[in-house]
């Protein structure tokens, strides 16, 4: 393993494809834990590609398993499942302007990598700091995010037209917009 520990006493976040835990003594780092090694490796592959282009949070490890730090006398017997350490990204506010920024990120990812970021909703993007400025990045780099099967979510190409339609019908924007390539 290594010297990093999951801070089990802190916050955690559960997504559709992984759990996210803080790293003890590294406030701006998180561990993304997956169901199995294969899922972790698939996500890592996409994450590494996007991180090289500054389109995903920075990576701080390869695919690994971590021990949990002791918390009030409790420490799980087993290490984590497979995952990797990455820079922590923060959520964005749900606004029309943020939808346009997500749209821009979708287009940049496609132009720079050829990948279509189908699963491009608010919970799959986040903000990181770059030169004291907030930068929007992709935080769900699982294989499903780049699969047309996930086209039921997010504001992607042709977003402006979809947002106007949604506003007139009072329907949840996240559930109505979808990628059109």
Say yes or no: 156 and 118 in one domain: yes
* DSSP track, the chain: --S-EE-TTS--EE-SSEEEEEETTEEEEEEEEESSHHHHHHHHHHHHHHHHTTSSPPB---SB--EEPPBTTB--SS---SEEEEE--B----SHHHHHHHHHHHHHHHHHH-------SGGGEEEEEETTEEEEEE---SGGGGSGGGTTSS--TTHHHHHHHHHHHT--HHHH-----
Model-level pTM greater than 0.85? no
pLDDT per residue as tens digits for the range 66-112: 999 988 788 888 999 999 999 999 999 888 888 889 999 999 999 99
What share of the chain in percent tops pLDDT 70? 82
- Write the pLDDT tens digit of every residue in 133-171: 999 999 999 998 988 877 644 445 444 444 433 333 333
- Picking from 26, 61, 87, the residue at the C-terminal end of a domain is 87
Is 33 in the same domain as 70? yes
In a domain, 113, yes or no: yes
pLDDT value at residue 74: 85
Residue 107 is assigned to a structural domain of this protein? yes
Q: Is residue 181 part of a domain?
A: no
Its domain, for residue 16, covers 5-87
């Amino acid at each position: 393993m290594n010297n990093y520990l999951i801070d089990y006493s802190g916050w955690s976040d559960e997504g559709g494809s992984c759990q996210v835990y803080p790293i003890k003594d590294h406030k701006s780092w998180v561990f993304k834990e997956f169901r199995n090694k294969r899922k972790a490796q698939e996500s890592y592959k996409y994450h590494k590609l996007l991180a090289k282009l500054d389109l995903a949070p920075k990576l701080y490890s390869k695919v690994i398993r971590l021990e949990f730090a002791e918390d009030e006398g409790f420490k799980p017997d087993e290490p984590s499942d497979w995952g990797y350490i990455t820079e922590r990204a923060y959520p964005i506010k749900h606004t029309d302007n943020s939808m346009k920024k997500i749209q821009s990120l979708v287009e940049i990812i496609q132009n720079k990598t050829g990948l279509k970021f189908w699963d491009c909703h608010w919970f799959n993007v986040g903000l990181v700091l770059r030169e004291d400025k907030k930068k929007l990045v992709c935080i769900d780099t699982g294989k499903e995010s780049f699969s047309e099967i996930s086209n039921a979510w997010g504001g992607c190409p042709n977003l402006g037209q979809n947002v106007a339609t949604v506003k007139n019908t009072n329907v949840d924007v996240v559930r109505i917009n979808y990628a059109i390539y």
